[in-house]
Structure 1
Amino acid sequence: MDFTFVSGDPALDLTGTVLSRRNEPVDLLTTPADLERWVVACDGLPDRVTADARTFESALSLREALYRLALDRVLDRPFDPGSLDIVNGAAAVPPCAIELSDAGLRTSGDLPAALSQLARSAITLLADPHACLKECGRPGCTRVYLDRSRGARRAWCGMEECGNRVKAAAYRARRRGAV
């Protein structure tokens, strides 16, 4: 399965690896190999990491903590203390190393460093009072995204997946009403 990176921040994209959290969640990270593929596909993270059972569980724990904190921010409620501990603990690990060369930017590090980088990204985002976080407006989608649109009018996590579905459903409803 391909991963979707539409949330506007890598930490939020990690939380989006669980689809439709309300009804029957679909977890895209079921094995350490899935996590390794996600890290490689995510911009700004190392192009090669190895996940063992312990680091895989740490990543899933971080993902869920990030989701709870992002949802706390969307719903304008106090942050969950346990989630804060998990994210702050992950951020305390040294992050990935970066190098600049004629070929561009290269990021290197192990999985704990990549998780640290994600946690730091989330901390920066969640601490920003001007960051506009929203939950996708398509029923069934629970992805939280950063709305950088003009006037903060974006309604869906991504047009390709959710926006098109909502618009197609509205079109079909209008057609049924016109008949």
Structure 2
Amino acid sequence: MIHAFPCGTLPLDFVGTLRARRRAAPTEKLATPDQLDAWFVEAGMLDAAPGADETDLAIAVDLRESIYSLVVARLDGEPLPPRAVAEVNKHAAGLPVTLRLHTDGATRTGSVAQGLAALARETVEIIGGDEAALLRECARPECTQVYLDRSRGHRREWCAMRTCGNRVKAATYRARQHSGAAS
């Protein structure tokens, strides 16, 4: 598995395919069409790779950045950028992923455009609905992952406890140990 899904919300996990956005050289997890194919399969959106090409990849990255623009606007309490709204709405109007029932289960198949349409529709539901108030950015300074804080009391701080949460807590512990040893 080459992708991470810490948010439990596919559009926000999709935004997270550009890691450490504030760094001079962020890490791009959608650098090739094969990586985009892998994202759809690993996310469970499609059972088989849709066969992305370079054009599909460029469209997917553009949608990802439009979703991120909308998320940042909501986080900052700013108006939604019209270009990002138009981009997400354009994709949301697309055909859905095809679900088929078989005697031994179900399958999900579709094109890149169908996968992007599903992400765009879920983005519309998040950004345009009550869940927009639950948007948070990970408190670990190096991380720029955004998630929905559905925790009781809405006090979640990290995109994922097993990664960012553990790193922050371990660093805090080491700093306490170091300052105690220096005294």
- TM-score w.r.t. the length of structure 1 is 0.94
**Does 2:63 align with 1:62?**
yes
Q: CA deviation at 1:8?
A: 2.2
1:121 corresponding residue in structure 2: 122
Q: 1:158 aligns with which of 157, 160, 168?
A: 160
Alpha-carbon distance between aligned partners in 2 of 1:103 and 1:68, rounded to the nearest angstrom: 41
The question of whether the paired residues in 2 share the 8 Å contact of 1:62 and 1:87 is answered with: yes
Q: CA deviation at 1:58?
A: 0.4
Identity across aligned pairs (percent)?
41
Query: What SS does the aligned partner of 2:38 have?
Result: helix
Q: 2:172 aligns with which of 148, 153, 170?
A: 170
2:99 corresponding residue in structure 1: 98
Runs (5+) with no aligned partner, structure 1: none
1:148 corresponding residue in structure 2: 150
Runs (5+) with no aligned partner, structure 2: none
Alpha-carbon distance between aligned partners in 2 of 1:161 and 1:125, rounded to the nearest angstrom: 24
Where in structure 2 are the equivalents of 1:130-149 lying within 5 Å?
A: 130-131=131-132, 132-149=134-151
Stretch moving more, 99-108 or 25-34 = 99-108
Q: How many residues align?
A: 179
Alpha-carbon distance between aligned partners in 2 of 1:93 and 1:147, rounded to the nearest angstrom: 29
Question: Runs of at least 4 residues of structure 1 off by over 2 A?
Answer: 43-48, 99-106
Q: Structure 1's 172 and 103: CA in aligned 2 closer, same or farther, altered over 3 A?
A: farther
2:11 corresponding residue in structure 1: 11
Amino acid in structure 2 at the alignment position of 1:142: T
- Taking only aligned residues, the RMSD between alpha carbons, in angstroms, comes to 1.5
Q: Structure 1's 133 and 45: CA in aligned 2 closer, same or farther, altered over 3 A?
A: farther
Q: Structure 1's 34 and 92: CA in aligned 2 closer, same or farther, altered over 3 A?
A: same
Larger-Rg structure: 2
2:37 corresponding residue in structure 1: 36
